Every structure is written in C-alpha cells, then in structure tokens.
Amino acid sequence: MSALNHLEIYKLLPKTNCRQCGALTCLAFAAALMRGDKTPKDCPHLDPAVIEKLSQGREPDGSARGEGEQELDGLRSRIADADRALLADRLGARFDGARLAVRCLGKDFFIDSNGNMTSQCHNNRWVEVPLLNYLACGAGLDPVGKWVPFRELKEGADRAALFAQRCEKPLKELVDKHTDLFELIVDIFDGKPSPGSFDSDISVVVHPLPKLPMLISYWKKEADLDSSLSLFFDASANENLPIGALYILAVGLLTMFEKIVLTHGKGI
C-alpha cells in the first residue's frame, strides 16, 4: 500500500476513468490503493516508473510511515490519554468501560484504550481520519439546524473548488446513472429523506458521525438545465471536525457509494 495521500496518488494516475482496474473512477482507484484493496499493477495504463513509485509505500522523504500515519498516532495518543467516558458523553458516543463505540453511517466503530479502531466493516483512512479527529478535536456541539455549503465553513473557501471537483461532481455523475442510489443510502447508511430541502428533487440526510449530519441534495435534469448535486453541512460542523477531515469524510462517502454501485450493479 502506498503511503502517499489520495491526491498525490491521483496526480500520478491517467485520469481517464476507464474502469479497467475495476474501480468506477481514477479517484476511487487512488482510494483503493491507499486502503490496500488494489495494487498499482491493476491499472493497465501506468508506466513502470509510476508503478515502482506507488509500490514503494514511502513518502518522498523516505519515511516508511509517512506524515499521515504520524498524525494518526498523535490522535490515537490524545484519545488514549483522555477521559473516554467524558468523550463519549460529549460526542454522542458510548463507553463500555473498555472501548468507545461511535456510530458512523449506521455502523458501530470501536476505539480501544490505545486509540486503535476496529469494526465489522472494512477499516480505511476515509473513516479512521475523520473519526479519530472527531474524538480528539470535536467540541461536541449539537447541530444548529442551518445547512451551509462547504465553501461557507471556516477555511472551506480555499478548498471549495477542489471539493466540488473531487466530491460533488463525481457524486452527481454517479447519481445521474443510478438515481436509486438514494434508496440504498437510506437502507444501508440510516439516511433520512428530507423532502423539499432547497427545492431539490431528492434530498437525504446522513450522519457520518453522531453530531455531524450531512445533506445530499439532487436536482434532476430538466429541459435545457443539466442535473446538479450539492453537499451541505450543518453550520456547527467546523466545531466538531477540522476542514481537512471534513473533506476526507466527503471523499470517503463518495468512495463508499461507488462501492455500492459496483456491488449491486444492475440492481440499481
């Protein structure tokens, strides 16, 4: 598995979204490389030099662990040193005396006394980074009930274009082909329909983390107007998760939804 982050990996890919690797997009392939679900050789369009670089599993400075893993270690230490019963109470989690249980998209993820995460689901950085940030840095504010776009969050404007390109645009294209994906989001991820939100045709609220809801709104193609999709966050989101972790969370959702499409195929 490469220790480069997903954007660094993505820059090295052909960006053709040819699907010959088995992933729906090159961005999804980059995510799969990070998780170790794919190898560089799964992409038939990479030249040997790029395959070698991605196979090394090292950061440019030669560190085998990489800055990302060091950051995760720091978050794990903060959680291990904290009063985990108070953390659970503040952040809407549960503590059984040994482990924290955090509800993420309808599934339980468990954090042990050393800050290590386990679950019945496949663990990956798209979940681990936001979840550990939420536990280590979250203020535990309840949602205020005001939906705002990513660009209106603190420090969101600087990443808004990237967020639109890497999250909202590919998710829109996915929904264009598989509108029934919203039904699976409700069934699999405990999503809640939110009719009439922003006058959209379809809207669903999901809870990636207990006090961090997200609204997905979709407008169907109409006459000469193309379809559109927007992701909205509760205005309190920045108090519970840093902007970088919010971005990773959104890309992670996209990756999960792409997996649903691959798994269910013609079923949706």
- CA 255-259-132 angle, 5° bins: 45
Give residue-wise pLDDT tens across range 223-237: 889 999 999 999 999
Give residue-wise pLDDT tens across range 49-99: 788 777 764 343 434 345 567 888 899 999 999 999 999 999 999 999 999
Fold that domain 6-55 belongs to in CATH: 3-methyladenine DNA Glycosylase II; Chain A, domain 3 (1.10.15)
Residue ranges in the chain assigned as alpha helix (H): 6-12, 26-35, 48-55, 66-81, 84-91, 125-137, 160-163, 169-177, 181-189, 237-240, 243-264
- Distance from C-alpha of 244 to C-alpha of 130, rounded to nearest angstrom: 9
- Distance from C-alpha of 142 to C-alpha of 240, rounded to nearest angstrom: 9
CB 206 within 8 A of CB 185: yes
- Distance from C-alpha of 50 to C-alpha of 81, rounded to nearest angstrom: 41
Range with lowest mean pLDDT among 91-95, 240-244, 259-263: 259-263
- Distance from C-alpha of 144 to C-alpha of 197, rounded to nearest angstrom: 16
- Distance from C-alpha of 191 to C-alpha of 213, rounded to nearest angstrom: 10
Position 168 scores a pLDDT of: 95
Produce one character per residue of 198-212: b if its CB has 16 or more CB atoms within 10 Å, e if not.
Answer: eebebbbbbbbbbbb
Range with lowest mean pLDDT among 35-49, 152-166, 173-187: 35-49
List, as one string, the DSSP characters of 214-226.
EEEEEE--BTTBP
CB 5 within 8 A of CB 34: yes
Which amino acid is it at 61? Answer: D
Residue of 260 and 141 predicted with greater confidence = 141
